[in-house]
Amino acid sequence: MNQTTYLRYQGQESKLEGLQSALNDLRGKQNEIDTLKAKLAATETENERLKLQLQRYELEENYQRGKM
């Protein structure tokens, strides 16, 4: 392998390493996104549960007021 070919090979190898690093970074970001999506879904579920609980308390309170 002559020097020009070797330098080209090194350049391509360096580009490949850079691309692999970028791909790993993207995979890490995708994992973060997936984690945040799961947390959001859990939060939305909890919010719905709390809304229903609040409605129940309000109904009970209105019922108690009506009894008095």
The pLDDT tens digits for 42-58 are 999 999 999 999 999 99
Can you give the pLDDT at residue 46?
Answer: 98
Its pTM stands at 0.65
The rounded distance, in Å, linking the Cα atoms of 34 and 31 is 5
**Is residue 58 within 8 Å of residue 66, measured between CB atoms?**
no
> What are the pLDDT digits (tens) for 3-62?
878 778 888 999 999 999 999 999 999 999 999 999 999 999 999 999 999 999 999 999
Tokens of 22: 């970028």
The rounded distance, in Å, linking the Cα atoms of 32 and 40 is 12
List CB contacts of 9: < 8 A, sequence separation 6 or more.
1
Can you give the pLDDT at residue 58?
Answer: 96
